[in-house]
Amino acid sequence: NSEDVRCKCICPPYKDHSGHIYNKNVSQKDCDCLHVVEPMPVPGPDVEAYCLRCECKYEERSSVTIKVNNVILL
């Protein structure tokens, strides 16, 4: 299920740009700042420095397991 995977990038403040969290459904190999952060908040020369500050993590979950657990607990 495409909703069960995502890449989450947490980017701290950089120069005059505030911090931001980006989420996107991409494959694990594409889980990086260049594929997830859209639109890029900084101009071309600053992209590398901005992306080096971002922490990106690939996340998977099982929504079926979550739903079953909710039914059991309720």
Q: Count how many domains the chain has.
A: 1
Q: Cα-flanking dihedrals φ and ψ of residue 6, to 5°?
A: -165, 165
- Distance CA(33)–CA(43), nearest Å, equals 14
In a domain, 65, yes or no: no
Q: Would you give the DSSP letter of residue 61?
A: -
pTM of the model: 0.75
Q: What is the residue range of 22's domain?
A: 5-60
Does 43 map to a domain?
A: yes
Q: Is 47 helix (H, G, I), strand (E, B) or coil?
A: helix
pLDDT values of the chain reduced to their tens digit, one per residue, 74 residues = 446 889 999 999 999 999 999 999 999 999 999 999 999 999 999 999 999 999 999 998 766 766 776 678 77
> Which amino acid is residue 74, in one-letter code?
L
